[in-house]
Structure 1
Amino acid sequence: MPRYFFHTHIGEDVIVDPEGRELDDPDAAYEAAKVLALQLLQGADADPELLKAVLFVSDDAQELVMEFPLTESLAAELVSEPETDNETRH
């Protein structure tokens, strides 16, 4: 199973993830990045710099898999599931 590392970049500062996580694939890494981003933002309180932070996700070979801005997790949370009944709502 591949291992993914979630390094947090906040301006010039980098918080390195030395252990990473074993996940099935890049899609699972995306979901893990989304959860981690939400957790970081919830603990942000009065640190507006976290709104500019980006998770750089790399694999075992240190190849960049994705860049995930923390604010992207907020947009993902705003998208709601579509209504399943045929009733019109106003």
Structure 2
Amino acid sequence: MMDERLTRGQKLCVVLMDIALLAELTFCIWKSSQHQMDMVETFLMMYVPALLVTVVGFRLIIRRLGRRAGQDASGARSRTVQPLPREVSL
């Protein structure tokens, strides 16, 4: 991966992903604690798919936000004003 800084939108997306993962973790622990006999099985069956969907989904969004910012920057570069030619002294 290239050494690039995250845009403001990408940073917000990372924070939202962290919050979503913590909420999923909390919910899955609470729900699996209701099934004492097969707590680990219930937790893994609930958390792993939710984790994968959340991480993959947010990574796609972060990547898309990065591309959009890159296109905006490249579009801005193509519209730069060319310097005026220097005057020729005779």
- Is TM more than 0.5 here? no
Task: Choose between structure 1 and 2: higher helix proportion.
Answer: 2
Larger Rg computed on CA atoms: 2
Task: Choose between structure 1 and 2: higher strand proportion.
Answer: 1
Higher relative contact order (CA 8 A, sep 6+): 2
